């Protein structure tokens, strides 16, 4: 069985190959380890292998890991759906939030960000494939939301995030990623982050300009949900 360190080395090699094809500097692409349902020990192994950015979907689960790993200089990213009653805790504990798709949520995060902390880095989640089951702002509503969020004092709008629908071919995987890149380019804002690309579409995302890729199974192996906390035990989000 591959170790987490070996998996990270393999993913970094994939990033380097994709960056070379796209004529990009691989150092401009941040690797985020998506660690939902994984134990704190796995995150510690990832940090030992050079990964600092950690993405979590479930708030209560993340808080427990933060407490266990408080000795490590990790950067914590919240990437799951956000309910209004969770914004205060998210604003207090995370460095980044990638799943902002409503102005109400953004305002709450801004108002509840502690004054002693720097502004909370946020990305707007875009429903780039137009799926009814997916969260995210539409491309039509994106400019208005982006301008409003950029003006909030407790936040720093960094860019856009998307989770495209699965696709069978490389060309089909690239199309929504290109659409996200083009949507960000049209915004008249100083944005520097495209949070897109997961284990299955890593190369295509880098070719389309991803600056942060969110990788879970390729680092930690396939998830076994039967041995992890239930949704109620994690705390709903």
What integer pLDDT is reported at residue 111 of this predicted model? 98
What integer pLDDT is reported at residue 224 of this predicted model? 66
What integer pLDDT is reported at residue 2 of this predicted model? 72
Which run of H or E residues covers position 207?
helix 202-207
pTM of the complete model: 0.93
Mean pLDDT by groups of 10 residues along the chain of 237 residues: 90 98 97 97 97 98 98 98 97 98 98 98 94 87 98 98 93 96 97 96 97 97 60 41
User: Counting runs of H as helices and runs of E as strands, what totals does the chain give?
Assistant: 10, 8
Crossing angle (nearest 10°) for helices 103-112 and 142-150: 10
H helices within 49-95, ranges in order? Answer: 59-68, 87-93
Comparing CA positions, the residue from 109, 43, 107, 49 lying closest to residue 76 is: 43
What integer pLDDT is reported at residue 131 of this predicted model? 75
Rounded distance between C-alpha atoms, residue 77 and residue 54, angstroms: 6
What integer pLDDT is reported at residue 237 of this predicted model? 45
């Amino acid at each position: 069985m591959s170790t987490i360190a070996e998996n990270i080395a393999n993913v970094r090699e994939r990033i380097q190959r994709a960056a070379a094809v796209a004529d990009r500097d691989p150092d401009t692409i941040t690797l985020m380890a998506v660690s939902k349902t994984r134990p704190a020990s796995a995150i510690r192994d990832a940090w030992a292998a050079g990964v600092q950015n950690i993405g979590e979907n479930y708030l209560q689960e993340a808080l427990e890991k933060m407490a266990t790993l408080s000795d490590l200089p990790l950067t914590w990213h919240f990437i799951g759906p956000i309910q209004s009653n969770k914004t205060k805790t998210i604003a207090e504990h995370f460095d980044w939030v990638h799943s902002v798709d409503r102005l109400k949520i953004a305002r709450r995060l801004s108002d509840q960000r502690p004054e002693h902390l720097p502004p909370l880095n946020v990305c707007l989640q875009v429903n780039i494939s137009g799926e009814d089951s997916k969260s995210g702002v539409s491309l039509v509503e994106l400019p208005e939301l982006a301008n409003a969020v950029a003006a909030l004092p407790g936040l720093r709008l960094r860019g856009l995030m998307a989770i495209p629908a699965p696709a069978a071919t490389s060309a089909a995987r690239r199309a929504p990623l290109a659409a996200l890149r083009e949507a960000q380019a049209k915004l008249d804002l100083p944005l520097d982050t495209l949070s897109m690309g997961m284990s299955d579409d890593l190369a295509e995302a880098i070719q389309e300009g991803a600056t942060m890729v969110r990788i879970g199974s390729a680092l930690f192996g396939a998830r076994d949900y039967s041995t992890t906390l239930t949704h109620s035990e994690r705390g709903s989000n």
